[in-house]
Amino acid sequence: MEKHIPVLLNETIELLNINKNGIYVDMTLGGGGHSEVILNLLDKGKLYGFDQDIFAIEKASERLKKFKNFQAINANFFQAKEKLAENGIEEVDGIIFDLGVSSFQFDIPERGFSYRYDAPLDMRMDQKASLDAYYVVNNYSFEDLIKIFFEYGEEKYARFIARNIIKHRTLKPINTTFELVDIIKEAMPNKELNKKGHPAKKVFQAIRIEVNQELEILEESLIKAIDLLKPNGRLAVITFHSLEDRIVKQLFKRLSTIEIPRGLAIIPDELPLINLVTRKVVTAQETELSDNNRAHSAKLRVIEKNDK
């Protein structure tokens, strides 16, 4: 299993502007890479780490066991505000979201996230969840398959791939990742198969997003996270594909803008809810790109809550 390397680590920590006595939340604990660096900067502060994947909780907890000011919580980040309230925490100094799948989840074949290992179709981050990749592939309608492949994977051959899935599953259930990869390849023209990159990447991404309902809860989770911030508290979000980044960008733009009616003579003195710490998206430097392939698609945006 490859070592989990957190992306945009230095940039994220610097822009979070860590207060050594502050309260911080890692909404996507994963391997605990970002959390470990934050904890090393804390004195009397504390960090709470959330992950819906119990394997991630166990792995990160082992890595961070030397820190007495760390608490892991096995829950989706959508539940974070309520879970923190149960621990007596109503506001925090900083929050990080590192979206997407942790590298170690890809590296465990039986989790079914990767098109590079032959395994049962699964892709659940929360192993207790009822919806899995097998159900999506074998039960979703032709129209629904097209929709998720096109919208979540931006796959231009969505219709052809969906049709081939329907064709094959009428003969027998599609059970494994390699079976699905072969079906995807069979539906694509040779010119696409000869291009750089794996031909199943977009479809696997789309199914993963659907299984884990990643986009449906993202905006509301970010709004709840901003509500958790103290005045001048900061929120950092790392995304890995355009759909996530678009949601984050549009939300941050909306919340950092005061709409002034046309023709109004007096400029309102109220502040927007947040300020943009990063006016432009932050991407990885060449040194990181050469060491960590996952960093190529990573984008970082950071905001600060206004002191009203």
Residue-wise pLDDT tens digits, 280-295: 999 999 999 888 887 8
**Distance between CA atoms of residues 308 and 290, nearest Å:** 43
Query: Which residue, 195, 212, 229, sits at the end of a domain?
Result: 212
- pLDDT for the residue 266: 56
- The answer to whether residue 291 is domain-embedded is yes
CB 234 within 8 A of CB 185: no
- Confidence band (pLDDT; 50, 70, 90) for 263? low
Name the residue with higher pLDDT: 107 or 273: 273
Place of tokens 């502050």: 22
Average of pLDDT values for 265-278?
A: 81
Per the structure, the complete domain to which residue 125 belongs is given by 109-212
- pLDDT for the residue 120: 95
- Work out how many domains the chain is built from and give that number: 2
Percent of the chain with pLDDT over 70: 94
Query: Which residue, 179, 212, 245, sits at the end of a domain?
Result: 212
131 and 204 fall within a common domain: yes
CB 29 within 8 A of CB 57: yes
Burial status of residue 165 (CB atoms within 10 A of its CB: 0-12, 13-18, 19 or more): buried
- pLDDT for the residue 23: 98
Residue-wise pLDDT tens digits, 217-239: 999 999 999 999 999 999 999 99
Comparing CA positions, the residue from 159, 162, 155, 111 lying closest to residue 132 is 111
- Residue 164: give its domain's CATH number: 1.10.150.170
Residue-wise pLDDT tens digits, 101-138: 776 667 777 888 899 999 999 999 998 999 999 999 99
- pLDDT for the residue 268: 60
- Confidence band (pLDDT; 50, 70, 90) for 170? very high
The count of C-alpha atoms lying within 13 angstroms of the C-alpha of 277, restricted to the half-sphere facing its C-beta, is 21
- pLDDT for the residue 177: 97
CB 193 within 8 A of CB 241: no
Residue-wise pLDDT tens digits, 45-62: 999 999 999 999 999 999
- Residue 223: give its domain's CATH number: 3.40.50.150
- Confidence band (pLDDT; 50, 70, 90) for 264? low
- The answer to whether residue 186 is domain-embedded is yes
- pLDDT for the residue 292: 83
- Confidence band (pLDDT; 50, 70, 90) for 261? low
Q: Does the pLDDT value for residue 2 go beyond 50?
A: no
- pLDDT for the residue 259: 72
Average of pLDDT values for 203-226?
A: 95
- pLDDT for the residue 103: 66
Residue-wise pLDDT tens digits, 60-93: 999 999 999 999 999 999 999 999 999 999 999 9
Percent of the chain with pLDDT over 90: 81
CB 256 within 8 A of CB 274: yes
Query: Which residue, 165, 195, 212, sits at the end of a domain?
Result: 212
